[in-house]
Amino acid sequence: MVEGILLILSGPSGVGKGTVCRYLLEIREALKLSISTTTRPPRPGEEEGKEYFFTTLPRFKEMIKDDSFLEWAVVHDHYYGTRREAVREMLASGQDLILEIDIQGAGQVRAKVPEAVSIFLAPPSMKCLEERITGRGTEDPDRISRRLDTARREMEAYSLYDYLVINDTVERAADLIDSIIDAEKSRISRGACPPGWGGETT
């Protein structure tokens, strides 16, 4: 069995990671999203186990102690983490998996999983990024200004990634990521081989 590909989709706060990821999952049904664990309270409409596994801070800290996370980070005052065992099981079963995570977490996964494919989602311009952060309407003014400061700093990390994708339109960004996955799955070093030669490429 050829292992699944681990994709990291990251980028500055508000660039559109969640939006592009949702669209990508629609156009590439075989791809699964890793469901993170967080101490952030659910937003209206969010369901346990769908967007996140919601938990308490003490429980999250226990999970850190038990080394349950492949990566974790504090993002805007809340803890977020990716469960190591869930990722391992899915990849081992041949499932391609995408982590939609912040810049800090992406660095941890790159260091621990060198074969992971990392994609930096960037805005068409800084002005555009500011408009998206301000326009999302889920935060108060103080949180918006902190998000903007963080986002400007986070842009500097782009050169550490494998691929740069500009989120000009959601469709174009998702299509490009879809093509990147196709290209990565065609790598012979990842086990791609002609039909009947002992493996599968898709």
Q: Which residues bind ligand ADP (CB under 6 A)?
A: 13-19, 132, 135-136, 167, 169-170
80 φ/ψ angles, rounded to the nearest 5 degrees: -135, 140
Q: Which of 4, 16, 81, 107 binds ligand 5GP (CB under 6 A)?
A: 81
Q: In sequence order, which ranges of the chain are alpha helices (DSSP H)?
A: 17-27, 57-65, 84-92, 103-112, 126-135, 141-154, 170-185
Q: What is the dihedral of CA 58, 73, 24, 46, to 10 degrees?
A: 30
Distance of alpha carbon 164 from alpha carbon 124, whole angstroms: 12
Type of residue numbered 47: E
Task: Give whichever of 166 and 180 is closer to ligand ADP, judged by the CB atom.
Answer: 166
Task: Answer with the entry of ligand ADP, ligand 5GP, none that 105 interacts with (C-beta below 5 to 8 A by kind).
Answer: ligand 5GP
Task: Answer with the entry of ligand ADP, ligand 5GP, none that 16 interacts with (C-beta below 5 to 8 A by kind).
Answer: ligand ADP
- Greatest Cα pair distance in the chain: 59
Binding mask 92-111 for ligand 5GP (x = CB under 6 A): --------xxx-xx------
Least distance between ligand 5GP and beta carbon 49 (Å): 14
> Which residues sit at the interface with ligand 5GP, rule CB under 6 A?
13, 17, 36, 40, 71, 73, 75, 80-82, 100-102, 104-105
